[in-house]
Every structure is written in structure tokens, then in C-alpha cells.
Amino acid sequence: MASKKKPTFSAVPSRSGASLIPWLGIAFIVILFDQISKITITRTFMHGEEKPVTGFFNLVLAYNPGAAFSFLSTQGGWQRYLFAGIAIAAVCFIIYLLRKHAGQRMFCWALALIMGGALGNLIDRIAYGHVIDFLDFYWRGLGHFPAFNIADTGITIGAFLFIVDELRRVNKH
């Protein structure tokens, strides 16, 4: 009697047959590093405390209830729900794009980094009502760049890769 072969299942296959698992793994790594760094900084620093590291970089514990560059940070708290909703919608759209284009490596790297960053900051918004920032770069005489975190770095690198991928695609045609 011939043995029946058990069906195998691909982890969340896309239309192209490629798996979402690598891209979700990248997003998970961003979230993991982001949350570990935020836990470490909140256990090591008091709010507003800063520690100089170099002549252009400090570690500082800052809370941002707004979005990028503290956009809407002085509002009454409703922005927490707005930005959380935007993050959830963005993640849903990113998952859709990852499923549809799972074989396009740079495009999916970009999306995975952006998704990991969005989810890292969403966790903060849900848990604390604000995003924890701690990386403070500055230029003497010009001032400080707004403090940011690992999630923001993932979003920024993802956006850069997205632009590079788009430029490559345009230049091919």
C-alpha cells in the first residue's frame, strides 16, 4: 500500500508563491530591538535626563505624544488614537503589499522595516500614550535634531530603500 503524502503548507503564501515569513521576521527583529532598547533606556534614565556619548550624540529619555518631529504633540491626547489608527491601517496595507509583491526583495525589505517601525511605535502608543525616544544627535551651534528611536530608524531606512527601489524601477523603463 502506498503511503499518502501529507499536504505541506507554506507559511502565508502570496500570489507569487513566496512566503511572508522572511518579511514578518524582519519586522519582528525591528520590533524586538526597538522594545528592548526602550525598556533599557526607561530603566536607566529619568524622563529628560541625558548622557553625552560623543561631541554630536547624546542618549536622552524623551516622550513624544505626537508624530514625527513632535507633530501634534501639544494636543489633548486625541492624537494618540489618530496615530494608532494610522499605524494599524498602514500595517494592514503593508501586509497586503507584501503578499502581492513578496518576491520583490528590496521593495519588501523596505516595507518590512517600515512595518516593524510602525508596530514598535504603536506598542508605545497603546502601552504608554506616547512614543519613547532616546537617540539625540546635534550639531554645535545649530541645535539638536528631534530625538528618535530604533523604530523611527527602521521607518527611515525603509523609506530610503523604497525610494531607491522606485528609482531603480523607473530607470529600468
Q: Give the residue numbers marked as catalytic.
A: 133, 152
| Integer CA distances (angstroms), 56 to 33, 52, 90, 142, in order | 23, 8, 33, 11
* Residue for grid cell 527602521: 154
**Element spanning 72, H or E:** none
Burial of 95 (0-12, 13-18, 19+ CB in 10 A): middle
CB distance 2 to 122 below 8 Å: no
Q: In sequence order, which residues have a C-beta less than 8 Å from that of residue 158 and are 6 or more positions away?
A: 109, 110, 111, 112, 113, 114, 115, 117
